[in-house]
Structure 1
């Protein structure tokens, strides 16, 4: 059996003789079992601490009637050995309690034995949450549950903004028991655990090295180690050999390992430089300082050839456990007690012969209510285990440990705790003192390695320059500033480092597809720049939401030929409107001639003169230059409507022509992609862009038709040369680039044609990255803040030209004719046509009703066509003036002149002319000026 048994008589002798002299011979000796791995740093230190605890306790409480006798058995790291040792102590030594065992796997069996025998199992080293005193009534934990440190670990990870962390755990109950709690804690604030490494404690160095290599290949940078000291010490040495303890990495160790940093050897400590550790805070006290001094003086074990390692937290808990048990035994009044059922079996491992302790329940209750101020702080058991108050965060530097801060559930992370600790002025942004990270640097590890493109044009989006003093890259531009604004909108810090995607000559190392694929190759953690979200790229990266406009369009040269057009005066009206207007003029003139021919002398005369009158009168109304007066009321009605139509037409014509002559009318040289492809014209695209693939695959351009360009100046030169001088017919590019190009050359070029759908610019991250939803939400916050985002657009995209002037000029750019169409004036023509036809119809019906009966009576034998000819002759005859009141009054006024001398004649003529020109004639109606002169001249000698 792999354990060592110390006889009770020998322990009692040492206790009674060496500690208390002759007076102590009357004390009740209470046997207590101890099951530990005495060759481990925890077991060896704990054994010595418990011995010192009983010496100190009984030195202070010499009057107590009980004395504990510790029966220590060495179980090693074997589960069976630990269970056998506990069974032996209960069955053969009838111990009242057992301190131990040391590991969680061993404790599972021993706790069950304690429950069966009702013997309290007290452990100061079993910290796995999988073993709970609430589920095991005879199990007492005088240490902190590992679950207590989960929130503190999560606070550190969140404070430094680490979005991914790898868990390295020991493949035991101790290691596996904490994983679910850590996963839940990280998930609350979005930190992802992409990998877990579970290493058996029995693994060889080669097996551990293989696991480390596998982790290194995942490009992980943040690690949380939850192992025992034996496995952890080998792990860090091998990790250091693999180059994973250099700058850019971060390592956190839990309390199980950080509590044992000091006892580890110098080689292990050297490998752990820059590691952050978390362990329960032990308040300073005079009692603790005195104990430390005595520990240093007595640095060797009572056993020969066994060196006592450095004092650790588990030793302090062991000291307080022995002290508490001694106090509880005295309070419980345990005297001459044993097991109710005696064992007849001679086997040390006969479970059936195991009895029940008489004092187990009493001792358990007394121990649970015991309180005192111990070396590790206040000893108080709540729900069967020690309660935590605070954790301290250490940083391994050189051969020492430096405390950089504390964590409590009430205050979170802080540099000081109730004035404890020395004041330091190196303060990091997370509320802790500045740690020294692996690689002996203060630069925060696990910075996002952000790849950025190296451009030769459109540097407004992203520009890479080099600091002449430090030779480090300086990144600027629209995409860079948007990303910085997004980081400020995140609820957590996100350290990063920009890495230009370049070759040894500091030129671009490839296309944008090549740049983004570096994420797949794990050379970059993200790509920031004017990277377009397209389906092919999303096969190997995840994109955030876009932060720019989307789509690919075509930009072409514009021409202004309107002002140099010989026939520009015809452009305001379309052909159909010109024809309709001319027809309306002729029709209206004809209607007026019909209505006025028989009663108005100005509409009479030879046929050629009457035809000329029809055209002259109607077209003269266009500029209101007609001088003929209307006699018929129907004519006047027609003219009222016609004047309104003419007014609208002339005003519209004038406005349109003025716009053509004064406003620059730019026409795109090409508006149809089919025309460009049909004529095999060259087209341009941005070099290294995905647009080349779009032109070939989606738009079916031949690769021989494509020409790559890099700068807006090259765009301008290629378009300006045109198709006949080695240039291109059009440039295809994304809308943000086109906007920037037009901001510089808006008066010469325009964007035309359809827009081909893309999702705009976005930031690229590895597939499954937990940062993508956080970055996307922050992008929404930034882009919806129009003041902030608009200022960025104005700074970069609109700084090279006047956006407003470009918008004004582009408003006049159209591929359609600006001429006014017939449809816009259809209502006017319908109104004037209806009124004209109605007036004409009424007049014709009246004429026929008046003359047709008479004609039928006088020529009854005539045919219908003959009658129509006769009716035409009647129509051509001047109507009797007596039948028209206006004509009659005018005629009587004219013929009232008795003497036709020249003086009166001239006076009469002048009166008529003045009256007509002033448009204020007397109430008596006058004929037109020409008619009046004709009448007055009759009978006057020449």
Structure 2
């Protein structure tokens, strides 16, 4: 009898494991690590329990082996989570589901690497949890690497160039935003300011942080925080008036995770986030997902009525492990654990590290896990060479009313699309700009007009624009009693151009002149260059507009004194560019009298009109052959730069120049034969 008992122990081992492939262990320990009382944990716990129950009742997998689940509460603490993980590893688990925290995952990944225990995390999305550094860490959800590239594509799609990142200052927050910065640079955009706050810090920290970012130029805020405290950001922003039109708020998947863990959005919560754009893990519709949703209604041990995407990933994680163990048991004789030689000399430690043992079959199980391919409730479960799930995708949501509407999808396969990415996988990948498309959003303030994403900073100085205080040609520009202080055609053109900008430009008009006579443009430009206007950041002289009504036109490069980073822009906005067209006029060629010659000045004209240089040269030659070569008088508007241009550039004697002040002077000079021609700017002409 003693010999028989010895033989039985020798065959099955002390832990009851079989030495033959045909006889499997009756039970196998698996662990689960997450924070029970959290948005993710309250969804993950019933999902994990349901998955274990489903596996144990399924006769087609693991056969006579049952999964023995050991759960540990990490209590939303890096220290407690590490201790709990160490205790779990001392229970001879073959794998662990979790953790949900990226910070805890960083710490315990070192432990599982040492003990060869695969860690299947359904919630740790930090991109720096790489397969190279942590070979036994296997992410069974989508890495934030892809989410940040999705946000960068969104920013580029809407034409914004600067964003403010608001994030929790831990591994999850910092590393995600770091990837976002890299992704934005590739789209010629950037993070203009990184606003980090301490995890579980006082609300006053958030208040101070938002007051600071509200002084910045950018009005596009990316919020990457934890779901348990994220709404504090929006409630504070609401109180500070930052949840109104012109603001853009984009939340990562934490917000849908919070909202979809509730049966409905509470009115107070809904009021906070109207118009917010959010990303949610995309899980394709399927019969498996529908059955899971139906099963959820009858699940025990659940504190919430609805579930978020992390519940689905947790459920699939258990099934992934079960399928891998099924394959493993067909190829090994027994499950065994060995003493770690590095811990052998620590038997007297009060930490009892001698209970930590190496899982001998861990490397083989890990290899099976990474090569498994099956369809779960989240879709296809398969890993690429870097141990990321293939086909990462997100739903783009627009929060509104008591729920949300889907604007479209993002995937690394097709970019932004209104077509579900699952239907596009049969086609070649295409992320070209022409294929990017989303439905229209309803933004903060219940408007469909896309926010510009930029405002002049509250602590910045308004743009000061020098405007000639005219006494003639008042339709062009003059003083006014209205809000702007000036009015006229040039002002209308400038205001219309500024309104087309993708951001606001606060500005004020400064009248130049005494209102008794037209001021000199040359003096104005000289004073702009020399006087303290420069301390305002930028000075712009009111522009003139070119039209096509004149039979003759010349391009004359003219230099503006410009300061500030936006100076170049105003060279383009300040003048409306039109193609100059020379139309043959035989009557004009025969008699220069009673004809109007116009000169249009525009900086950088040769850059845009190289193809017109020959025509302009021909026109200039005709001008020289007619008016310049003879002694006929030429009319010039008082105060116009044309006076010095004719005198200094074309060497016309001042005795030939006749200064004209009003519209009547123009008419009388032409009709009465006082001038052979008038050189003027088109708005006045």
TM-score between both structures, scaled by the size of structure 1: 0.50
Contact 2:469–2:511 (CA under 8 A) maintained in structure 1: no
- Which secondary structure does the structure 2 equivalent of 1:193 belong to? strand
- Which secondary structure does the structure 2 equivalent of 1:176 belong to? helix
- Which secondary structure does the structure 1 equivalent of 2:32 belong to? strand
Find the partner of 1:814 among 631, 641, 653: 653
Q: Does residue 203 of structure 2 align to residue 205 of structure 1? A: yes
Find the partner of 2:320 among 317, 324, 327: 324
- Which secondary structure does the structure 2 equivalent of 1:340 belong to? strand
Contact 1:240–1:271 (CA under 8 A) maintained in structure 2: yes
Q: Does residue 389 of structure 2 align to residue 386 of structure 1? A: yes
**d(CA) in 2 for partners of 1:50 and 1:465?**
72
Q: Does residue 422 of structure 2 align to residue 442 of structure 1? A: no
Contact 2:164–2:193 (CA under 8 A) maintained in structure 1: yes
Instruction: Give the aligned partner of residue 373 of structure 2.
Output: 371
Per the TM alignment, residue 739 of structure 1 is displaced from its structure 2 partner at its CA by 11
What residue ranges of structure 2 are gaps of 5+ in the alignment? Answer: 1-22, 425-434, 457-462, 533-539, 551-555, 584-593, 601-622, 628-632, 635-645, 658-685
Contact 1:226–1:257 (CA under 8 A) maintained in structure 2: no
- Which secondary structure does the structure 2 equivalent of 1:685 belong to? coil
- Which secondary structure does the structure 2 equivalent of 1:373 belong to? strand
Instruction: Give the aligned partner of residue 399 of structure 2.
Output: 396
**d(CA) in 1 for partners of 2:599 and 2:70?**
95
Q: Does residue 258 of structure 2 align to residue 260 of structure 1? A: yes
Per the TM alignment, residue 122 of structure 1 is displaced from its structure 2 partner at its CA by 1.5
**d(CA) in 2 for partners of 1:100 and 1:181?**
23
**d(CA) in 2 for partners of 1:394 and 1:319?**
24
**d(CA) in 2 for partners of 1:208 and 1:219?**
19
Contact 2:165–2:195 (CA under 8 A) maintained in structure 1: yes
**d(CA) in 2 for partners of 1:210 and 1:805?**
55
Per the TM alignment, residue 390 of structure 1 is displaced from its structure 2 partner at its CA by 2.6
Instruction: Give the aligned partner of residue 301 of structure 1.
Output: 301
Post-superposition Cα deviations, 1:26-57, rounded to whole Å, max 9, x if no partner, equal 96211011111000111121111011122233
**d(CA) in 1 for partners of 2:582 and 2:195?**
44
Aligned pairs for 1:407-486 (under 5 A) are 407-417=410-420, 431-446=437-452, 457=470, 477=489
Q: Does residue 515 of structure 2 align to residue 685 of structure 1? A: no
Post-superposition Cα deviations, 1:622-662, rounded to whole Å, max 9, x if no partner, equal xxxxxxxxxxxxxxxxxxxxxxxxxxxxxxxxxxxxxxxxx
Find the partner of 1:760 among 547, 557, 560: 560
Change (3 A) 1:179 1:29: same
Per the TM alignment, residue 66 of structure 1 is displaced from its structure 2 partner at its CA by 2.2
**d(CA) in 2 for partners of 1:805 and 1:441?**
44
- Which secondary structure does the structure 1 equivalent of 2:67 belong to? strand
Change (3 A) 1:473 1:257: farther
Per the TM alignment, residue 217 of structure 1 is displaced from its structure 2 partner at its CA by 2.1
**d(CA) in 1 for partners of 2:336 and 2:370?**
21
- Which secondary structure does the structure 1 equivalent of 2:134 belong to? coil
**d(CA) in 1 for partners of 2:545 and 2:45?**
78
Aligned pairs for 1:576-587 (under 5 A) are none
Q: Does residue 127 of structure 2 align to residue 90 of structure 1? A: no
Q: Structure 1 stretches (4+) deviating beyond 4 angstroms?
A: 342-348, 418-421, 447-467, 471-488, 496-501, 689-698, 733-740, 775-783, 785-790, 804-807
Find the partner of 1:131 among 129, 132, 138: 129
Q: Does residue 380 of structure 2 align to residue 360 of structure 1? A: no
Post-superposition Cα deviations, 1:200-242, rounded to whole Å, max 9, x if no partner, equal 1121111111111111122431101111112312111111111
Contact 2:220–2:454 (CA under 8 A) maintained in structure 1: no
Aligned pairs for 1:532-543 (under 5 A) are none
Find the partner of 1:245 among 240, 243, 257: 243
Instruction: Give the aligned partner of residue 838 of structure 1.
Output: none
- Which secondary structure does the structure 2 equivalent of 1:169 belong to? strand
Which structure is higher in helix share?
A: 1
Post-superposition Cα deviations, 1:503-539, rounded to whole Å, max 9, x if no partner, equal xxxxx6x558xxxxxxxxxxxxxxxxxxxxxxxxxxx
Post-superposition Cα deviations, 1:673-726, rounded to whole Å, max 9, x if no partner, equal xxxxxxxxx996369x9558469979xxxxxxxxxxxxxxxxxxxxxxxxxxxx
**d(CA) in 2 for partners of 1:274 and 1:404?**
12
Instruction: Give the aligned partner of residue 66 of structure 1.
Output: 65
Per the TM alignment, residue 290 of structure 1 is displaced from its structure 2 partner at its CA by 1.9
Aligned pairs for 1:180-259 (under 5 A) are 180-259=178-257
TM-score between both structures, scaled by the size of structure 2: 0.67
Find the partner of 1:43 among 31, 41, 44: 41
**d(CA) in 2 for partners of 1:112 and 1:220?**
40
**d(CA) in 1 for partners of 2:378 and 2:92?**
30
Contact 1:46–1:315 (CA under 8 A) maintained in structure 2: yes
- Which secondary structure does the structure 2 equivalent of 1:388 belong to? coil
- Which secondary structure does the structure 2 equivalent of 1:259 belong to? helix
What residue ranges of structure 1 are gaps of 5+ in the alignment? Answer: 1-24, 422-428, 489-493, 502-507, 513-551, 553-681, 699-732, 744-754, 791-799, 819-942
Per the TM alignment, residue 268 of structure 1 is displaced from its structure 2 partner at its CA by 3.3
Q: Does residue 608 of structure 2 align to residue 803 of structure 1? A: no
User: How much is the aligned-residue C-alpha RMSD, in angstroms?
Assistant: 4.8
Change (3 A) 1:448 1:90: closer
Moved more, 235-244 or 689-698: 689-698
**d(CA) in 2 for partners of 1:734 and 1:81?**
66
Post-superposition Cα deviations, 1:584-616, rounded to whole Å, max 9, x if no partner, equal xxxxxxxxxxxxxxxxxxxxxxxxxxxxxxxxx
Change (3 A) 1:323 1:782: farther
Contact 1:94–1:338 (CA under 8 A) maintained in structure 2: no
**d(CA) in 1 for partners of 2:479 and 2:162?**
28
**d(CA) in 2 for partners of 1:290 and 1:464?**
73
Instruction: Give the aligned partner of residue 626 of structure 1.
Output: none
Per the TM alignment, residue 462 of structure 1 is displaced from its structure 2 partner at its CA by 7.2
**d(CA) in 1 for partners of 2:242 and 2:324?**
49
Moved more, 218-227 or 163-172: 218-227
**d(CA) in 1 for partners of 2:379 and 2:488?**
54
**d(CA) in 1 for partners of 2:499 and 2:311?**
46
Contact 2:222–2:251 (CA under 8 A) maintained in structure 1: yes
**d(CA) in 2 for partners of 1:311 and 1:347?**
43
Change (3 A) 1:122 1:801: farther
**d(CA) in 2 for partners of 1:472 and 1:414?**
44
**d(CA) in 1 for partners of 2:545 and 2:93?**
87
Aligned pairs for 1:783-932 (under 5 A) are 786-787=579-580, 802-803=596-597, 808=627, 809-810=633-634, 813-815=652-654
Contact 1:133–1:141 (CA under 8 A) maintained in structure 2: no
- Which secondary structure does the structure 1 equivalent of 2:358 belong to? coil
Change (3 A) 1:198 1:290: same
**d(CA) in 2 for partners of 1:94 and 1:805?**
89
Aligned pairs for 1:501-580 (under 5 A) are 501=508, 510=510
Instruction: Give the aligned partner of residue 557 of structure 1.
Output: none
Per the TM alignment, residue 171 of structure 1 is displaced from its structure 2 partner at its CA by 0.1
Per the TM alignment, residue 498 of structure 1 is displaced from its structure 2 partner at its CA by 7.5
Moved more, 29-38 or 446-455: 446-455
Larger Rg: 1
Contact 1:30–1:69 (CA under 8 A) maintained in structure 2: yes
Change (3 A) 1:735 1:483: closer
Contact 1:87–1:349 (CA under 8 A) maintained in structure 2: no
Change (3 A) 1:476 1:285: farther
**d(CA) in 2 for partners of 1:805 and 1:198?**
56
Per the TM alignment, residue 816 of structure 1 is displaced from its structure 2 partner at its CA by 7.4
Moved more, 432-441 or 328-337: 328-337
**d(CA) in 1 for partners of 2:159 and 2:486?**
23
Instruction: Give the aligned partner of residue 309 of structure 2.
Output: 313
**d(CA) in 1 for partners of 2:352 and 2:70?**
20
- Which secondary structure does the structure 2 equivalent of 1:406 belong to? strand
Contact 2:102–2:172 (CA under 8 A) maintained in structure 1: yes
- Which secondary structure does the structure 2 equivalent of 1:356 belong to? strand
**d(CA) in 2 for partners of 1:280 and 1:232?**
18
**d(CA) in 2 for partners of 1:26 and 1:419?**
38
- Which secondary structure does the structure 2 equivalent of 1:268 belong to? helix
**d(CA) in 1 for partners of 2:571 and 2:544?**
25
